[in-house]
Structure 1
Amino acid sequence: MGSAVMTGMTSGIERGGVRVAADIGGTFTDVALIHPDGRIATRKVPSTPADYAGGVVEGIRQILAAEGVPVGAVSEVLHACTVATNAILEGKGAKTGLITTAGFRDVLELRRIRVPRLYDPLYRKPPVLVPRSLRLEVDERLDFAGRVLEPLDEGSVIRAIDRLAAEAVQAVAVCLLHSYANPEHERRIGVLLRERLPDAFVSLSVDVLPEMREYERTSTTVINAYVGPAVRAYLESLVARLAAEGLPERLFMMHSAGGIVDARTVMRRPAQIVECGPAAGVLGARHRGAAAGYRDVISFDMGGTTAKASLIENGALSRTDEYEVGGGISLSSKLSKGGGYALKLPVIDISEVGAGGGSIVWIDKAGALKVGPHSAGAVPGPACYEAGGTAPTVTDANVVLGYLNPRALAGGSVPISAAASRRALGESVAEPLGLSLDEAAHGVHELVTTVMTRAVKSVSTYRGRDPRDFALLAFGGNGGIHAASLARALGITRIVVPPGAGVFSALGLLYAEVETGASVAHPRRLDAAEPHALEAAYETLEEQVLAELGETRQRLVLTRAADLRYAGQAFELTLDLDAGRDLAQAARLFSEAHRRSYGYDLPGNPIEIVTLRVTGRLPRDASAPGHGRAVATPRETRRVYFGRDLGAHDTPVIGRADLGPVPRPGPLVVEEYEGTTLVPPRCTACLDPDGNILIALGAAAAGTARNPAQRSPTHA
């Protein structure tokens, strides 16, 4: 495949070396390369589901050859993947057993007694990751302070291990009651497991999540075990393949909180990469949005299998440690929980739905049109690929509508058949519903927009934020095609489509800093906390972070935080708690944070410490992005259908470089190597000084569109 080249986005490059980043998507694997002078090249190759490492290595090989870069010049390889996520969503993780305290066998079943669909009497929650027959109890008991009420009965442990061995489990999670306060019993079980099941992946809650709350701790530990063998096998294969190519053996992985860590750390705690690919895109969106003059941004990432959204407010990422993965939508909203698997690890707050270019279009038994969550993926792919896929997909609908090139994608390197798209959509949708082909295709387009509004509302409306106050920064292979429809549905008037939008998650990796964190339960009242005990606990966490990153205190930025709550509350707020901040000041700051979050505080009510946290970050140089070098496209005109209200238009097909600083009215189709951007009628588009496409909708397009060189004071 061809590659695209641009300049800018030079955050933190290692001078004297080339850095390479690769991100696996459901359909394509995206690769980005940054030269020491800041030039960036991109590459798209088909993903290889049978062995994702093959696509990564092939993409790196191709981009190095295209750029004339010798393998020895590469100083760093960064990576984000969907291996952990797919294992959960597809139910293809390891056969996993759970060892827990007697009486707590069914914690995974009980969950939090939430039903996300109150008016759906047929709703069924997704099955637990460990069936009841593999959830085994052992005799032991600790109290909340870690005092031993009943010693560990090693005989019961050995019986449980032998039963798991007989069941040929591949992974074992261990989560004992109150082990966060005293890890001794869990550590001993870990020793016995490694002696008697040496080939199993062992996950101890004291290593994964030494914090309160039995369900969240058990679920997170089980997820870590469930995805562990698949992630470990994949990363071992990838590291070996990279070494065989002569590339650096040290591989850096993006984790879900937006930092990067050594792949060896990920092999021990694979749950931390469940949302690593989307996190890279949000990281890039924050940098690109700020450079374009927008500090309040909703990132919108639509790829081949899913659509993701995240909120960036006043230039800051939204992070959470309360997340659910699976269940049709992955999110952290307290209003919509109960449908997935709890993952209580730091993540960028991203909402994800099963709606992408490869999402399959189908009609249910009641005759209603449906999109996803099943995807044609890279293999066999949409019908237009003519690679074995016969079911119509969102991509096929976009081909029929004229939004996508009817001959080839990715700069001509992926031939497609418009006739195959028309045939698949006609036979499966238009004819059964008695619609014209245009109406059926546009119905798919509108339906997938409706599905994606769930993701955006989950990070905006459900958080008390009005999406109309934000710009929509769209990326991913299909983000530019669907951004205008999504923005119109939400009342958003500004869209930003950055250079390299189709490979933006790979580009986002180049912004990432080496970062990791550690936490420990520390339950006590704030006014009774002893400063020297807090200091000792924080120093222990800092030593863990230093050991994990293999760095010195002088090179790292260490940040302290604590989870606080009013006595009697069930949930906490995380508050910065620096070394020099006294506890009285912490109480005042917590009350202020509580008032901002919930609209009230409780003066005089006791405040409790629940968890202590430390984050270690290795800063990179943060150079400002430069200008993108956009590529012009030979001019042509294509029939494009925009729905019943707007009809069909003979629409110019242009390249990014054909846009200028003066807003140009739609309709337009902007085609590039990495992706396509659609500018419907009643919208305008222009190019800002940093090479971003700015699309204005509604009143903004009618005459209030500002010069892109001018930065709005509300966003600057």
Structure 2
Amino acid sequence: MIRVGVDVGGTFTDIVLERTQAAGEGDQQVVVTKVPSTPHDQSEGVTEGVLQVCKIAGVEPGDISVLFHGTTVATNMVIERNGAEVGMLTTKGFRDILHMARHKRPHNFSLQFDVPWQSKPLVKRRNRLPITERLMPPTGEIEVPMDEDEVYAAAELFKKRGLDAVIVGFLFSFLNDAHEKRAVEILREVMPDAYICASSEVVNVIREYERFSSTAMNAYIGPKTALYLNRLESRLRDNGISCPVRIMQSNGGISTVAQSATHPIGLLLSGPAGGVIGGKWTGEHCDTGNVITIDIGGTSADISVIQDGELRIKNPRDTEVAGLPVLAPMIDIDAIGAGGGSIAYIDEGGAFRVGPRSAGAVPGPACYGRGGTEPTVTDAQVALGRLDPERFLGGDLSIDKALAEKAIKENIADPLGMSVTEAALGILKIINNNMALAINANSVAKGIDPRSFSLMGFGGAGPLHAVALGEMIQAKAVISPLQPGITAAMGLLVTDLKYEYTRSVLQTLNDADDEALAKINAIADELVAEADAQLDSDGIHADARTYTKIMECRYLGQGFELRADMPLVPLTQANKSEVIDNFFNVHKETYGHAFRDQITEGVTLRVIASAQVDQLRLPSLEKGGRKDPKEALLYTKDTVFDDGQPTATPRYDREKLLAEDTISGPAIITQHNSTTIVPPKFTATVLGHGDIRIERA
């Protein structure tokens, strides 16, 4: 079997190929590579990278069994606001729900704050048309039948305006979706080429603003996401790659192209999610379940926490993208504009700043020689001698130290009256402090003590900053994965197929009688049936399927919910207390207290269906146990560390290191896709599968 993982970043596209034989028929082969990303059309870079890794591995593209893909297409569309022109049908009287939202100011004490759902709406007001219809809670009975003539008229108007997508969001449709379904039928009849979806199909849960916003987001990114996925499959086929394609989801699972095209909001954290999965997998190899991951690429740094070997999933109230709520399950990841391409500059007030603006893949850092003239974090690393021109990406990409120094001198050093070395160290100090603050916001601010966690830095720039960041947050140790620059792509090959289905229940659990529990069980059965239908279409055998049931609960009268595990068996009077106790425990962990004498209300039922796929396996390294092994030594070159003085620093070839080898700092460990820095007074130890742990000597 040949499996390929492809992760697209802002600057580079990372590819890993795994070839395995049947048991007893030979060794496993793992090949990795990187190619420049192609922002104008990511599918070009993906295809080029797949063909390149096949050539390196000596395999035919047509022999690939399955391709796994993490993409930023959906995320970039929202951030750049270049999605589809969307129309909306909604209940008469509720046309402005998307404008009013929750009447919350994004920044309470700012006079210049921006309200993204008003300044850059996903659906313009002129394209939000009211329809006569009304359902009534709590049963969803029809109070006012839907006026189909109004729906036909609205559809004709949308067609005349040339809209790409239309959503239907009616009040209380999570209780009865009959009106939404009929409106969708009419829209598809009149606008067969438009991207159409109903809120009950996308997020069938309570809260009209969040439901409408999530559905609008799905339609806003839907047409271009579907076009990209179809173009990708077509481009791959044209190059002889006809294998199934699986897409990374924000919840840490993978899905099919068809499912991703109809529910693209599940892709909004597709890129970063692969890195967290890869970090969890690497932590298992390093015998640690407590890991803080930071994925530093060319444009951004993505931060997450893995506690006791488990991923953290965001609470529904926190799942937003670009300031807009998205009711889709997401791994708890914080992203900031900090990466190798982050640009250093002096602002209008004379302050020295770095990021969030990035040089990206084009033109890239000044040292790339592609026309960039502004200094970046990568330029600072080059100027300090921490990245060598002859070893950068194994020599595949040429860099020019003189160009890096020139950019820093002209834009930072001369205006501030400092040397190039001082300016370069300043760039790194600023960017590291920005990232350390973000790490603390994702850990300390959420009750995590970094002193009992290892910091894992990956992405092309991760191991360059990891030790400095580990010192700032007082992490127990620092880990540089086996293939830092490809960790997110490798995470794609250790991810399970996963789908989530939700339905509102709105039932207090303490006094729930047998009839109420029977309704909850019936909803759970319906969600499992939906999951089974999807897994059937994926060809997953029934024995390979696993299910998890979650009840999103709150105290009666509370504003938002927390996820509490449910038993897999049907709820009964005897076991409903398990859900209540689980809610109390999660509330205690999240907020530091739990009121165990209060009434618990179940709001949303969630069924997670998954199926394991073949996992990427790494061979164990041969045992070395050497100290500063000469066999791996490449050469020695002056490098500047925090003291500002050039220091003779040996370079080691990571591919020649063996298990239990130790390297004393200062040292730089090079490989094709990344560079690991071991500063003075630190020691690096090679672990059993090739990962490196760095600790104070």
TM-score above 0.5, yes or no: yes
Query: Which of the residues 600, 612, 620 maps onto 1:619?
Result: 612
Specify the alignment match of 2:228 in structure 1: 234
Provide the C-alpha distance between the structure 2 equivalents of 1:621 and 1:47, rounded to a whole number of angstroms: 28
Q: 1:132 to 1:680 in 2, by over 3 A?
A: farther
Provide the C-alpha distance between the structure 1 equivalents of 2:79 and 2:603, rounded to a whole number of angstroms: 31
Q: 1:66 to 1:177 in 2, by over 3 A?
A: same
For structure 1, which segment, 398-407 or 629-638, has the greater mean C-alpha deviation from structure 2 after superposition? 629-638
Q: Per the alignment, in what secondary structure is the counterpart of residue 59 of structure 1? A: helix
Query: Which of the residues 506, 514, 520 maps onto 1:534?
Result: 520
Letter in 1 for 2:521: E
Query: Which of the residues 62, 72, 79 maps onto 1:89?
Result: 79
Provide the C-alpha distance between the structure 1 equivalents of 2:81 and 2:105, rounded to a whole number of angstroms: 21
Q: 1:239 to 1:564 in 2, by over 3 A?
A: same
TM superposition shift of 1:572? 1.3
Correspondences of 1:372-411 after superposition (within 5 Å): 372-407=355-390, 409-411=392-394
Q: 1:647 to 1:235 in 2, by over 3 A?
A: same
TM superposition shift of 1:441? 1.4
Letter in 2 for 1:546: D
Correspondences of 1:638-657 after superposition (within 5 Å): 638-643=637-642, 645=643, 647-656=645-654, 657=656
Q: 1:171 to 1:625 in 2, by over 3 A?
A: same
Does the 8 Å CA contact 1:308/1:455 hold for their aligned counterparts? no
Does the 8 Å CA contact 2:319/2:329 hold for their aligned counterparts? no
Does the 8 Å CA contact 2:495/2:615 hold for their aligned counterparts? no
Provide the C-alpha distance between the structure 1 equivalents of 2:505 and 2:582, rounded to a whole number of angstroms: 19
Q: 1:365 to 1:131 in 2, by over 3 A?
A: farther
Q: Per the alignment, in what secondary structure is the counterpart of residue 395 of structure 2? A: coil
Provide the C-alpha distance between the structure 2 equivalents of 1:669 and 1:119, rounded to a whole number of angstroms: 46
Q: 1:79 to 1:442 in 2, by over 3 A?
A: same
Does the 8 Å CA contact 2:65/2:243 hold for their aligned counterparts? no
Letter in 2 for 1:566: Y
Q: 1:478 to 1:130 in 2, by over 3 A?
A: same
Determine whether 1:599 maps to 2:576.
no
Determine whether 1:24 maps to 2:18.
no
Q: 1:428 to 1:294 in 2, by over 3 A?
A: same
Measured against aligned partners, the alpha-carbon deviations of 1:641-694 in whole angstroms (never above 9, x if no partner) come to 223x45432222222235763543322111110111112223221211221111
Provide the C-alpha distance between the structure 2 equivalents of 1:557 and 1:321, rounded to a whole number of angstroms: 23
Does the 8 Å CA contact 2:64/2:243 hold for their aligned counterparts? no
Q: 1:225 to 1:416 in 2, by over 3 A?
A: same
Provide the C-alpha distance between the structure 2 equivalents of 1:129 and 1:637, rounded to a whole number of angstroms: 55
Specify the alignment match of 1:177 in structure 2: 171
Q: 1:633 to 1:585 in 2, by over 3 A?
A: closer
TM superposition shift of 1:488? 1.6
Q: Per the alignment, in what secondary structure is the counterpart of residue 265 of structure 2? A: helix
Letter in 1 for 2:567: D
Letter in 2 for 1:232: A
Specify the alignment match of 1:337 in structure 2: none
Q: Per the alignment, in what secondary structure is the counterpart of residue 387 of structure 2? A: coil
For structure 1, which segment, 258-267 or 399-408, has the greater mean C-alpha deviation from structure 2 after superposition? 399-408
Determine whether 1:558 maps to 2:547.
yes
Provide the C-alpha distance between the structure 1 equivalents of 2:94 and 2:110, rounded to a whole number of angstroms: 29
TM superposition shift of 1:375? 1.9
Provide the C-alpha distance between the structure 2 equivalents of 1:315 and 1:45, rounded to a whole number of angstroms: 32
Provide the C-alpha distance between the structure 1 equivalents of 2:101 and 2:28, rounded to a whole number of angstroms: 49
Structure number with greater CO (CA < 8 Å, separation at least 6) is 1
Letter in 2 for 1:66: I
TM superposition shift of 1:230? 1.5
Determine whether 1:574 maps to 2:581.
no
TM superposition shift of 1:34? 0.6
Does the 8 Å CA contact 2:343/2:359 hold for their aligned counterparts? yes
Provide the C-alpha distance between the structure 1 equivalents of 2:46 and 2:562, rounded to a whole number of angstroms: 39
Query: Which of the residues 465, 474, 483 maps onto 1:491?
Result: 474
Specify the alignment match of 2:669 in structure 1: 670
TM superposition shift of 1:276? 1.1
Letter in 1 for 2:691: N
Provide the C-alpha distance between the structure 1 equivalents of 2:86 and 2:547, rounded to a whole number of angstroms: 36
TM superposition shift of 1:114? 4.2
Does the 8 Å CA contact 2:450/2:476 hold for their aligned counterparts? no
Measured against aligned partners, the alpha-carbon deviations of 1:205-252 in whole angstroms (never above 9, x if no partner) come to 111110112222122111111111121111101111222233234211
Correspondences of 1:256-655 after superposition (within 5 Å): 256-322=250-316, 323-327=318-322, 340-407=323-390, 409-526=392-509, 527-528=511-512, 530-550=516-536, 551-580=540-569, 582-620=575-613, 625-627=618-620, 635-643=634-642, 645=643, 647-655=645-653
Does the 8 Å CA contact 1:564/1:608 hold for their aligned counterparts? yes
TM superposition shift of 1:590? 2.6
Determine whether 1:101 maps to 2:85.
no
Q: Per the alignment, in what secondary structure is the counterpart of residue 505 of structure 1? A: helix
Specify the alignment match of 1:70 in structure 2: 60
TM superposition shift of 1:123? 2.9
Does the 8 Å CA contact 1:98/1:136 hold for their aligned counterparts? yes
Determine whether 1:139 maps to 2:132.
yes
Q: Kindly, what percent of the aligned residue pairs are identical? A: 37
Q: Per the alignment, in what secondary structure is the counterpart of residue 65 of structure 2? A: strand
Measured against aligned partners, the alpha-carbon deviations of 1:594-632 in whole angstroms (never above 9, x if no partner) come to 333333333342221111111111123558643258997
Alignment size in residue pairs: 669
Does the 8 Å CA contact 1:300/1:472 hold for their aligned counterparts? yes
Letter in 1 for 2:286: A
Does the 8 Å CA contact 1:291/1:624 hold for their aligned counterparts? no
Q: 1:167 to 1:628 in 2, by over 3 A?
A: farther
Provide the C-alpha distance between the structure 2 equivalents of 1:379 and 1:395, rounded to a whole number of angstroms: 14
Letter in 2 for 1:68: G
Q: 1:78 to 1:624 in 2, by over 3 A?
A: closer
Letter in 2 for 1:692: D
Does the 8 Å CA contact 2:563/2:586 hold for their aligned counterparts? no
Specify the alignment match of 1:336 in structure 2: none
TM superposition shift of 1:196? 2.1
Provide the C-alpha distance between the structure 2 equivalents of 1:553 and 1:382, rounded to a whole number of angstroms: 51
Specify the alignment match of 1:714 in structure 2: none
Q: Per the alignment, in what secondary structure is the counterpart of residue 156 of structure 1? A: helix
For structure 1, which segment, 473-482 or 164-173, has the greater mean C-alpha deviation from structure 2 after superposition? 164-173
Provide the C-alpha distance between the structure 1 equivalents of 2:507 and 2:33, rounded to a whole number of angstroms: 52
Does the 8 Å CA contact 1:407/1:417 hold for their aligned counterparts? no
Measured against aligned partners, the alpha-carbon deviations of 1:164-199 in whole angstroms (never above 9, x if no partner) come to 334322222322221111111211221222122222
Alignment RMSD (CA, Å): 2.2
Structure 1: stretches of 5+ with no match in the other structure: 1-16, 328-339, 703-716
TM superposition shift of 1:44? 0.7
Q: Per the alignment, in what secondary structure is the counterpart of residue 423 of structure 1? A: helix
Q: Per the alignment, in what secondary structure is the counterpart of residue 564 of structure 2? A: strand
Letter in 1 for 2:172: H
Q: TM-score, normalised by structure 2?
A: 0.91
TM superposition shift of 1:119? 4.9
Provide the C-alpha distance between the structure 1 equivalents of 2:429 and 2:579, rounded to a whole number of angstroms: 48
Determine whether 1:56 maps to 2:55.
no
Q: Per the alignment, in what secondary structure is the counterpart of residue 320 of structure 1? A: coil
Q: 1:202 to 1:619 in 2, by over 3 A?
A: same
Q: 1:585 to 1:67 in 2, by over 3 A?
A: closer
Measured against aligned partners, the alpha-carbon deviations of 1:269-325 in whole angstroms (never above 9, x if no partner) come to 011011012111111111110221111000110011110011100011111253445
Q: 1:144 to 1:366 in 2, by over 3 A?
A: farther
TM superposition shift of 1:29? 0.8
Measured against aligned partners, the alpha-carbon deviations of 1:348-400 in whole angstroms (never above 9, x if no partner) come to 11111111111222222111222222222212211111222222222112211
Provide the C-alpha distance between the structure 1 equivalents of 2:164 and 2:157, rounded to a whole number of angstroms: 13
Q: TM-score, normalised by structure 1?
A: 0.89
